[in-house]
Amino acid sequence: MILILLFTITLASRKECKATSTGIPLSPSLARPETFGGGQSPCMKLDSRVFKEASPYDTKVLNIEHIVELQNSEMDECDKDIFGNVILADAKWNRAVGNLCWKYGSVEKQQVYGPIFQRAIDNVRACCIKESPNDVSLTVIAIVLIIATALFVSALFVSLSQADCLT
């Protein structure tokens, strides 16, 4: 019964893909490639104020756009709110593409951003690896903790057994 409930909730919470395009004619002029990354380190946490101050453009007409969407996109376990994943893009198109499912939005983004699209994905992936230890590191840490605990417990038993012999 619980599995059926969880399955139903999961299906109901999935974003349904209703629209397959923004309906806006696509061209590279929808974005300003020179603003990609805001001149900061790609893995640096995004600070909108810093990004806007560095831009010579009107941020009412152009929005700070996350190339890899913060939600409902690839790599949900990674932080995508980083400088290496943002660019200034046309505000109207930005809102429209953000409402598309990743399956369709990513196609439009590839057409508008060209090679910058893949660079943003690579940045998110690289920064995600830097921010979390890999599985091998976690395994080594776990083994070291287990061995240290075992040594501590055995030393404790030896100490207690020697104390018993003295009394």
What pLDDT is stored for residue 6 in this prediction? Answer: 45
In contact, 67 and 35? CB cutoff 8 Å? no
pLDDT along the chain (167 residues), means of 10: 48 65 93 91 90 81 91 84 94 92 93 96 89 55 79 75 64
In the structure encoding, which two tokens stand for residue 141, read together? 């840490």
Query: CA–CA distance from 10 to each of 13, 16, 39, 93, 162 (Å)?
Result: 5, 12, 39, 29, 58
Predicted structure pTM score: 0.67
Q: What integer pLDDT is reported at residue 3 of this predicted model?
A: 45
pLDDT of residue 12: 47
